[in-house]
Structure 1
């Protein structure tokens, strides 16, 4: 319940605040693929789509509202369905997150991931990331090409949480559909 209240408070505060570009936190989005980056043959197809088709910049461009919350950069770590996630990719992701969070100019990291193995990857990062800065995983249940795609809103929510100073020291989190979980 506290996490849900925290998430609602963060969204309300951010929506009522105006920041100058220099005072905005710097959030890096690391993309690994999954349904959030998936596409289908038509916009009513929510099964049988291809995971990990869209690049991180396409995901960022789909949510220009993030620019009111944070300075956002993106890096493509992988572009696969999470059922194809390997220990090598997870280790590379952990090393990348640690390197980014060691930088003074990075305030938090958001990771886009498929839902099949998100919990395993998030748990591994919770054990291996050595920073109090926020790390927030997000994903989607419907591909980006679907009429009812949920990825863009989930990405906005994850960036909102990662940009909030109150998210520091909470460990790795997962944000989906207005819910926030700590690993």
Structure 2
């Protein structure tokens, strides 16, 4: 798809946007405005975050309706299956409201790629669901959250926007591809080899790719009270199969191995993984780091996750196992 300006009908009518807060650095507070790392995440209510963004006040003056709801207030490193289910349910409730044009989710950066992947696979919405976050707390002297939040609302209000995306540092990423690649800088996300969907520039979106599509699994897939046990193990120098054997004893149902090279796995670890696979455990290889995609060799003994990160592959296995119960 060629680059186009998606903003031609953006201001035609006022929009109704729902912002769902889950905490994260974007809602974090530190004792000093100069401290960008020693903060406590999830301290500022989402309504307060919205009130501190001048661009959103201007939207309200233009007739936009921006609602807010606090779904959770956590550091996203502590994201749980229970919060995922509640968030997905609340997103669906607002998607079903005909007057709502788009939804924004404020989130922590640490597990954003997992939540974005899950929401896209479960909901695949026809309206935009936009995740946004920050690398600096709300208390910072130069926080990145307000601009990210303003940009996210912009994208959520676009005509023709759909699917789950993430808006961070002026870039729009597909929810099924986005991943965190840097621990500190504000521009901390990319999508491997795929590139962004577009760039937000002064309240306008320059589109480079198509909006995400897909067939939703549906909320019923998340209905189980107890979710399957799916864990990640890492292949590395000196790896062996003991951790796999211990996880098998604990009743694990799915395993992702973060593999070296083109999906290669230490021979001792692979032997244990093959035992697990033979016992009915869902096993998949994912890239340990970096960009690219595992290229099948034709004689692979363990299936691969393509271009998914290990944590995205874990969510995929989790959803497949849950789908069998639904």
Assess same fold via TM > 0.5.
yes
Question: Post-superposition shift, 1:68?
Answer: 3.8
Counterpart in the other structure of 1:42: 32
Task: Tell me how many residue pairs correspond in the alignment.
Answer: 171
Counterpart in the other structure of 1:163: 157
Distance 1:136 1:10 in 2: 16
TM-score (norm 1): 0.87
Selected match of 1:181 from 164, 173, 178 = 173
TM-score (norm 2): 0.50
Distance 1:128 1:114 in 2: 20
Q: Does 1:30 align with 2:20?
A: yes
**Cα RMSD between the aligned structures?**
2.0
Distance 1:12 1:122 in 2: 27
Counterpart in the other structure of 2:85: 91
Counterpart in the other structure of 2:117: 123
Counterpart in the other structure of 2:245: none
Distance 2:36 2:6 in 1: 31
Question: Post-superposition shift, 1:11?
Answer: 6.9
Counterpart in the other structure of 1:54: 44
Q: Does 1:63 align with 2:20?
A: no
Counterpart in the other structure of 1:137: 131
Distance 1:137 1:93 in 2: 12
Distance 2:144 2:45 in 1: 17
Q: Does 1:82 align with 2:72?
A: no
Higher helix proportion: 1
**Within 5 A, what are the aligned runs for 1:103-122?**
103-122=97-116
Structure 1: 5+ residue runs without aligned partners? none
Contact 1:83–1:116 (8 Å) recurs in 2:
yes
> Secondary structure of 2:160's match?
helix
> Secondary structure of 1:165's match?
coil
Query: Which of the pair has more CA radius of gyration?
Result: 2
Structure 1 pair 12–151 and aligned structure 2 pair: CA distance change class (3 A): farther
Contact 1:10–1:160 (8 Å) recurs in 2:
no
Contact 2:16–2:65 (8 Å) recurs in 1:
yes
Question: Post-superposition shift, 1:67?
Answer: 4.1
Structure 1 pair 131–145 and aligned structure 2 pair: CA distance change class (3 A): same
Question: Post-superposition shift, 1:64?
Answer: 3.4
